[in-house]
Structure 1
Amino acid sequence: MSNPDMPLEGRRVLLVEDETLVSMLMEDILMDFGCILVGTAARLEDALARAREAAIDIALLDVNLAGKRSFPVADILAERGIPFLFVSGYGEQALEAPHQNRPVIQKPFSPESIGEAIQNVLNG
C-alpha cells in the first residue's frame, strides 16, 4: 500500500550515471523517497543489460556515459514501455531524436526536482 506522504515509496528505479559522486547523491535521494534501486549502471553495457532484464518502474539516465550516449538504453526502455527521464548538465539540447521531447532533470539538481520529475513522469 502506498504512503501518501511518500508517493515514490516502493518504486523500482534503474539509475544510469557514470559520475560516482553524482550517483551516490542520487542513490541517497532515491532511497530517502522510499524507492527501491534495482541497479546503478555506470557503463553503457551494464545499463543495456539491466534495461533489457530488470523489473523497473522508472529509469533515470545520464545522457553521457564516459563518452558514450545512453540513447540505446532509452530505446530499450521505450520498447518495454518503461517510463524514463534523462539527467544532464547540457539540458534538453543534449537529446537526440526520437527522445528530444523526453523530460530532463538539469544538473545540478535538488532532491525536490528529482522527486517532482519522477512523479510527473509516472503520473503521465
Structure 2
Amino acid sequence: MSDPGPGIRRILVVEDDYLLALDLQDNLADAGALVVGPVGTLAQALERIRAEAHLDGAILDVNLGGEQAYPAADLLAERGVPFVFTTGYGASAMPERFSHVTRFEKPVSVAAIRQALAGLFAR
C-alpha cells in the first residue's frame, strides 16, 4: 500500500464484531486516519502486521472468535507500534505484560478510543 501522505495515521483495526469494526472504521476515517483492515481473526491480524511496512497504531479486540489477540499485541510491541485493547474482560484477566496498555471495556466509546490513540501519538 502506498504512503498516504504526511500527517495521516495508518491504524490497524482488529475486531471480530462486524458492527463495531465498521463503526471504528468509519469514525477513524472521519478523523482523517487511513484504516488498515478491519480484520476479524488472529491469523489475519498477524498477516496484516507482518505485511504492512508502517503502522502508526492499532485497536485490538482481545477475544477474536475464541482466540486471544496477545500474539498480535506482542508483534506490534516488537515493532514499536502503539495499540489499545477492546475487551469484555476485566483488568485482572489481562496478562501482566500488557498492564500498561489502555483497555476499553465493551461496549466501547469510539470517541474515547480516538482520544486515547491521539494521546499515544503525542508521546
Q: Which runs of 4+ in 1 moved over 6 A?
A: none
State the one-letter code of the partner of 1:90: Y
- TM-score norm. by structure 1 comes to 0.86
Aligned mates of 1:117, 1:106 — CA distance in 2 = 14
Find the counterpart in structure 2 of residue 123 from structure 1.
122
Shift, 1:106, TM fit? 2.4
Q: Gaps (5+ residues) in structure 1? A: 3-9
- TM-score norm. by structure 2 comes to 0.87
Find the counterpart in structure 2 of residue 29 from structure 1.
27
1:1-124 superposed matches below 5 A? 2=7, 10-54=8-52, 55-124=54-123
How many equivalent residue pairs? Answer: 117
State the one-letter code of the partner of 1:103: T
RMSD of equivalent CA atoms? 1.4
Contact 1:105–1:117, Cα closer than 8 Å, also in 2: no
Q: Gaps (5+ residues) in structure 2? A: 1-5
